[in-house]
Amino acid sequence: MSRHQALLEEAERFIRMCYGELGRSEEETERRLVEVKRTIAEQGRYEHTEDELRHGARIAWRNSNRCIGRLFWETLEVRDARSLETEEEIAGALVDHIAYATNGGKIRPVLTVFRPAVDAGRQVRILNNQLIRYAGYETGRGIVGDPDSVAFTSLCTRLGWRGEGTAFDVLPLVVRIGDRAPRMFPIPRDIVMEVPLSHPELPGLADLRLQWYAVPIVSNMRLEIGGLSYTAAPFNGWYMGTEIGARNLADERRYDMLPRVASLMGLDTSRESYLWRDKALVELNVAVLHSYKEHGVMIVDHHTAARQFTRFEEREQRNDRSITGDWTWLIPPVSPATTPIFHKHYEDRTVTPNFFYQDRPHEAFEKAVNEREIELAESIVVPGCPFTPQ
């Protein structure tokens, strides 16, 4: 099957589904299909209308097998940034996304979509995993900050960024168009909302000086709608508490805080069988939920989220749609068997529109740099070149 033929089939399947769900007439659907087919035949591509883009992105969320928060798929706001050309313009739209989605803590689910990957030379990529994330530095005393960010932080440093060296330095945005050198843009401090952690009954917890950012904005996934790939389409919802309290701050490979929490709780950690990890984990999660609430930042606990997911399942069933899911991700990492999700079976089949992982662009870039070191050393004389080799 030729590339055009494959695109045509995907496009037609999507247009029929989209227009059907939106209640558009048979006539309008056929008219649009004729247009799409003609454009693909003539140019080998087609463009989504704003309505198609909005609904396609919402379906992609609805189809995200690992997401427990899908009840709210229809509330996703889609910002059309397809016309933006330069790295500066794109970074500006990312900053706008952060501010608009944060909304003073009353978080809005938002997706910003940049131009699709039709001509490879102009492909837009955001090298950050999430728009807001903390740096990680290898030091003589071990890693400071988020160990998961070490590679990306070193790329930012090579691009000329200097972090303060705290455990919670917000990384800059890094945008790359085609095979041009990536450009780095620090995020204005005042638009990044963060929450310092405290516990309603354990005053010592605040002394750990832990914090987390308000809005998780996933920026490294490819959005596929009707055969078109949007390689830059950052999206956000709000946090479920366990993502922070049971993973980001608790995993041994992340901030590894359970031993410290246990110690401030005065727990005996000499034997695993005392379940000190479990006790510390619960209190750390209490602290996360308590602190976000106290600072007016939307967050959901895992019991409520699981109940919302059950409502989503029921609603999908009523609409005669089969639901797919990845059980291993849907169950929360704290007390999974207390939620209804644990006791059910889900079919982990991938349907489109959907979000997909793509190659890790900063790793690909690092490799390219290492292979062309001499060329880059010479390019230092180019005025305005954002890349400073060391």
Catalytic residues: 67, 70, 238, 243
Which of 308, 352, 346 lies closest to 328 in space, CA to CA? 346
Which stretches of 114-272 are assigned E, i.e. beta strand?
Answer: 124-126, 136-139, 142-145, 173-177, 183-185, 194-196, 211-213, 217-218, 221-225, 228-230, 235-236, 239-240
- In eight-state DSSP terms, residue 353 is S
Binding window for ligand ARG (CB under 6 A); candidates: 40-48, 235-243, 323-331, 352-360: 235-243
Binding window for ligand ARG (CB under 6 A); candidates: 100-108, 166-174, 237-245, 311-319: 237-245
Structure-block tokens of residue 267: 């727990």
Binding window for ligand ARG (CB under 6 A); candidates: 42-50, 232-240, 277-285, 345-353: 232-240
Which of 163, 182, 216, 241: binder of ligand ARG (CB under 6 A)?
216
Give the nearer residue to ligand ARG in terms of CB position, either 218 or 323. 218
Give the nearer residue to ligand ARG in terms of CB position, either 129 or 324. 129
Least distance to ligand ARG, CB of residue 332, Å: 12
How many residues of this chain interact with ligand ARG, rule: CB under 6 A? Answer: 8
Which of 19, 168, 239, 365: binder of ligand ARG (CB under 6 A)?
239
Element (H, E) at 176: strand 173-177
Which of 19, 23, 183 lies closest to 90 in space, CA to CA? 183
Q: Is 218 in the site for ligand ARG (CB under 6 A)?
A: yes
Which of 243, 256, 326, 366: binder of ligand ARG (CB under 6 A)?
243
Least distance to ligand ARG, CB of residue 236, Å: 6
Least distance to ligand ARG, CB of residue 240, Å: 5
Q: Is 240 in the site for ligand ARG (CB under 6 A)?
A: yes
Binding window for ligand ARG (CB under 6 A); candidates: 142-150, 156-164, 166-174, 238-246: 238-246
Q: Concatenated DSSP letters for 239-268?
A: EEHHIIIIIITTSTTTT--HHHHHHHTT--
Which of 237, 245, 353, 361: binder of ligand ARG (CB under 6 A)?
237
8 Å CB contact between 348 and 324:
yes
Element (H, E) at 330: helix 327-330
Sequence-distant contacts of 367-373: CB under 8 A, at least 24 apart: 369/158
Least distance to ligand ARG, CB of residue 69, Å: 6
For 370, list phi and psi in degrees, rounded to 5.
-65, -30
Q: Is 312 in the site for ligand ARG (CB under 6 A)?
A: no
- Whether residue 147 is preceded by a cis peptide bond, meaning omega within 30 degrees of 0, is no
Q: State the burial class of residue 164 (Cβ atoms within 10 Å of its Cβ: 0-12, 13-18, 19+).
A: exposed
Site string for ligand ARG, 72-111 (x = CB under 6 A): ----------------------------------------
Which of 65, 102, 220, 248: binder of ligand ARG (CB under 6 A)?
248
Please give the Cα distance from 68 to 99 (Å, whole number).
Answer: 24
Least distance to ligand ARG, CB of residue 358, Å: 16
Least distance to ligand ARG, CB of residue 243, Å: 4
8 Å CB contact between 74 and 321:
no
**Residue 152 Cα to chain centre, angstroms:** 15
Please give the Cα distance from 199 to 51 (Å, whole number).
Answer: 45
Binding window for ligand ARG (CB under 6 A); candidates: 45-53, 182-190, 236-244, 317-325: 236-244
Least distance to ligand ARG, CB of residue 142, Å: 22
State whether the Cα torsion 335-340-343-349 is positive or negative.
negative
- In eight-state DSSP terms, residue 163 is -
Q: Which residues make up the interface to ligand ARG (CB under 6 A)? A: 130, 216, 218, 237, 239-240, 243, 248
